[in-house]
Amino acid sequence: MIFEGGGQGPMAPDPSLNNHHKGDHMERVLLSHGAGGREMVALIERVFLAKYRAPGFTGDDSAILNFGSQALAFTTDSFVVDPIFFPGGDIGRLAVAGTVNDLLTAGARPLALSASFIIEEGFKIATLTAIAASMRQAADEGRVAIVTGDTKVVPKGAADKLFITTAGLGAILKPGVSGAAAVAGDKIILTGSVGDHGTAVMLARENLLQGEAIISDVAPLTELVLALLEAGCEIHAMRDPTRGGIAAALNEIARQSQVSLEIDEARIPVKPGVTAACEALGLEVFQVANEGKMLIFVAPEDAARALDLVKANPYGREARLIGEVKASPPGRVQVRTTIGTARILDMPSGELLPRIC
Amino acid sequence: MIFEGGGQGPMAPDPSLNNHHKGDHMERVLLSHGAGGREMVALIERVFLAKYRAPGFTGDDSAILNFGSQALAFTTDSFVVDPIFFPGGDIGRLAVAGTVNDLLTAGARPLALSASFIIEEGFKIATLTAIAASMRQAADEGRVAIVTGDTKVVPKGAADKLFITTAGLGAILKPGVSGAAAVAGDKIILTGSVGDHGTAVMLARENLLQGEAIISDVAPLTELVLALLEAGCEIHAMRDPTRGGIAAALNEIARQSQVSLEIDEARIPVKPGVTAACEALGLEVFQVANEGKMLIFVAPEDAARALDLVKANPYGREARLIGEVKASPPGRVQVRTTIGTARILDMPSGELLPRIC
């Protein structure tokens, strides 16, 4: 979405912004404001979007720009992950995959990326070279070119090692794909297991070794999504469940589309090692970031065909239909648990995981 | 240019990269690698551009993408200026102006910006709100919309206050405007005094007060440049002389175009307070960053008309013809001094000014 994390729809003032009952001029940004949940949405709404809705504003991960007869998708993200290398990837692969996947959610073919580097003085040049190589590989895999960039070096201590900001440009293949376009009857495809990225990064950060290796899923999903669009599948909405996990992504779409989502918990794949690690770390796996997964809302008549196409892609082998869209109550995400009861899956709030992406 | 700071043309290995004769795997990024001069060019060439020239690569501040029948300019920059508020502007205004001006150098009309924020935990929300307001004002002035963004919050100490990365998209109005397109005979217009931005930031950072206030020139030059393009002036090249000042910008164009530049020192406006401050700070004013100036290379038959158009803009009142383009020797920038001698103006090297933009 524009100013990612939200801004969609009317929103009550969030009391968490009045931290410690300080005067307004003394309020400060908290880690929770960057976590992808409720507090981030409120901060963005208040600071960046109040009285300012630019042309192209969508509430989605990409803005849409009409340019002559063609529509363009345009998006950006900063990456501050710690550590910069983790099982399954690194900050460079993450920076490419994150922006490519945001373009894809707009029904766009990725065309070009920019990459801007903020580097702490003393960073090893060999490490920077390895990260640049990883970005090229991810860009090739994501069928996109990195065409422009910038480097800034800051004195030691002014930044922690390396931050990368990518922006991306895509050509809309299927107009109207949006988090606001899900309709009652749509089936929801999840392309694979959840929680892998956030869990892998947290374990790496805490230097916790696992008997069973947990690997980040970070990947550009260009081929998986383009296969659906090129086959003419009636996709209505897509979202990559990054910060805030599938809990945030599903709640965003329920609110944007003003629909109700019914999810079957038993159908959401979670790797056993991820479940165990989340329990040990005190994490709710549905709130944990993924970086190589997609939630796809597809018209019911195309659901089986779309699922087959997704499963044919290496990143979609474990894809499942996890639920469907109902008309009401609007904005609600309800999970049928494995024991047959129902619970509300809320928008995450609180600190969640800092520096996970 | 792509990966701003350079990469254009063949280049000998830079011995400064072999810092302290350490083994290759131990080399580290130095402040000079981010300063806009010789070392930055060498680092970018080596790390980012070696064996990788993406489609759209130009050696200019913007990449050019052909999209249907229309060409697009695409550029990015990160901003890490310290302090974040300085006389004449702030990091937000700088982040908008810097990217808008880079689009203009491609002969493009700015269409849309993205803005991504890396915020240190504890940053005041009121300050963030003020910076967002400043960005909107600068965007309005630059006739561009900020259409998408991202926020990341990092723990206290992991970043110094606030970094902003903008990317920009523009529609090419005059194809072929490039630092590589200057030809013998072209006249060189400088739109105003040099050294204001870098000097203002350095004085603010060092808490040095001046009897005469020195104000950053940070401004989006959209109206100034569009007036030239819309009037059909035969512009060949433009560059905004930011990091490394006019010394870096002129040397880049001399190299890219393989031409010789002859500059008349007496015609380059420098404010008396800036001259005095540069002497006190030990700075070479031609190497000091500007953020609201443009170097414009124009065919001789259009030079007078272009100068008049520039001078009609509030940001171009002090514009001057400062020199001209000769065929040879290629890559050389020569300055005729005020006492009638000639000296070579080199590409800057060394640390220059960290965190000036």
Can you read off the two tokens belonging to residue A210?
Answer: 């696992």
DSSP-derived 3-state class of residue B204: helix
Q: Nearest-CA residue of chain B relative to A44?
A: B151
User: Residue A45 has what DSSP assignment?
Assistant: I
User: Residue A189 has what DSSP assignment?
Assistant: E
Q: Which of B16, B150, B162, B173 to mutate to test the interface with A (most CBs of A within 10 A)?
A: B150
Can you read off the two tokens belonging to residue A307?
Answer: 């699922």
Cβ separation A78–B111 shorter than 8 A: no
Q: Nearest-CA residue of chain B relative to A68?
A: B70
Query: What is the per-residue pLDDT across B185-200, written as a single tens digit (0 to 9) for each?
Result: 999 999 999 999 999 9
Q: Where are the domains of chain A?
A: 15-172, 187-344
Residue A87's identity, in one-letter code, is P
Per-residue pLDDT at B196: 97
Q: Are A32 and A39 in contact (CB under 8 A)?
A: yes
> Would the pLDDT of A16 be above 50?
no
Among partner residues B34, B54, B122, which is closest to A29 by beta-carbon distance? B122
Just give the CATH number of B187-344: 3.90.650.10
Per-residue pLDDT at B321: 98
Just give the CATH number of B15-172: 3.30.1330.10
Q: What is the pTM of this model?
A: 0.92
Cβ separation A159–B163 shorter than 8 A: yes
State the CB neighbour count (10 A cutoff) for residue B238: 31
Residue with tokens 């919050």: B153
> Would the pLDDT of B14 be above 50?
no
**B315–A contact, CB cutoff 8 A:** no
**A349–B contact, CB cutoff 8 A:** no
DSSP-derived 3-state class of residue B28: strand
Select from A33, A48, A14 the least CA-distant residue to B116.
A48
Per-residue pLDDT at A351: 66
Cβ separation A34–B152 shorter than 8 A: yes
Q: Which of B148, B242, B353 to mutate to test the interface with A (most CBs of A within 10 A)?
A: B148
DSSP-derived 3-state class of residue A101: helix
Task: List residues bridging with B108 in a β-sheet.
Answer: B172
State the complex-level ipTM.
0.92
Per-residue pLDDT at B325: 98
Same fold, A15-172 and A187-344: no
Q: Which of B153, B162, B178 to mutate to test the interface with A (most CBs of A within 10 A)?
A: B153
Q: How far apart are CA A43 and CA A167, in angstroms?
A: 22
Which residues 132-151 of chain A have a CB within 8 Å of chain B? Answer: 132, 136, 145-151
Per-residue pLDDT at B263: 98
Give the mean model confidence (pLDDT) for residues B105-113: 97
B185–chain A nearest CA distance, Å:
30
* Phi and psi angles of residue A222, each rounded to the nearest 5 degrees, phi first: -55, -50
Cβ separation A124–B28 shorter than 8 A: yes
**B304–A contact, CB cutoff 8 A:** no
Q: How far apart are CA B210 and CA B203, in angstroms?
A: 8
B110 vs B66, higher pLDDT = B110
Among partner residues A48, A68, A150, which is closest to B76 by beta-carbon distance? A150
DSSP-derived 3-state class of residue A343: strand
Among partner residues B52, B155, B160, which is closest to A159 by beta-carbon distance? B160
Q: Which residues contact A95 (CB under 8 A, 6 or more apart)?
A: A77, A79, A115, A135, A164, A165, A166
Among partner residues B25, B68, B116, which is closest to A76 by beta-carbon distance? B116
Can you read off the two tokens belonging to residue A99?
Answer: 């922006």
B89 vs B29, higher pLDDT = B89
Q: What percent of chain B stands above pLDDT 70?
A: 89
* Phi and psi angles of residue B28, each rounded to the nearest 5 degrees, phi first: -130, 155
Per CB-CB distance under 8 Å, the chain B contacts of A48 are 132, 149, 151
Q: Nearest-CA residue of chain B relative to A165?
A: B165
B196–chain A nearest CA distance, Å:
21
State the CB neighbour count (10 A cutoff) for residue B273: 19
Q: How many CA atoms lie within 13 A of A255 on its CB side?
A: 21
Query: What is the per-residue pLDDT across A31-83, written as a single tens digit (0 to 9) for each?
Result: 888 777 778 777 877 787 765 566 555 678 899 998 878 899 999 999 999 99
Terminal CA-CA length for chain B: 16
Per-residue pLDDT at B338: 87
Average pLDDT, chain A: 89
Q: Nearest-CA residue of chain B relative to A25?
A: B126
Residue A117's identity, in one-letter code, is F
Longest dimension (CA), chain B: 57
B249 vs A13, higher pLDDT = B249
A75–chain B nearest CA distance, Å:
6
Residue pairs between chains A and B whose CB atoms are closer than 8 Å: 290
B170 vs B35, higher pLDDT = B170
Q: Nearest-CA residue of chain B relative to A171?
A: B67
Q: Which of A26, A69, A148 to mutate to test the interface with B (most CBs of B within 10 A)?
A: A148
Among partner residues B3, B155, B165, which is closest to A31 by beta-carbon distance? B155
Give the mean model confidence (pLDDT) for residues B18-44: 71
β-pair type (A162-172, A145-154): unpaired
**B289–A contact, CB cutoff 8 A:** no
**Segment holding A307, helix H or strand E:** helix A303-311
A214–chain B nearest CA distance, Å:
24
Give the mean model confidence (pLDDT) for residues A228-251: 97
Q: Which of A151, A205, A240, A243 to mutate to test the interface with B (most CBs of B within 10 A)?
A: A151
Per-residue pLDDT at B22: 45
Per-residue pLDDT at B40: 76
Per-residue pLDDT at A88: 95
Q: How far apart are CA B77 and CA A44, in angstroms?
A: 22
B48 vs A339, higher pLDDT = A339
Residue B133's identity, in one-letter code, is A
Burial annotation A301-310 (CB, 10 A radius, 16+ → b, else e): ebbeebbebb
Q: How far apart are CA B239 and CA B307, in angstroms?
A: 16
Which residues 201-260 of chain A have a CB within 8 Å of chain B? Answer: none
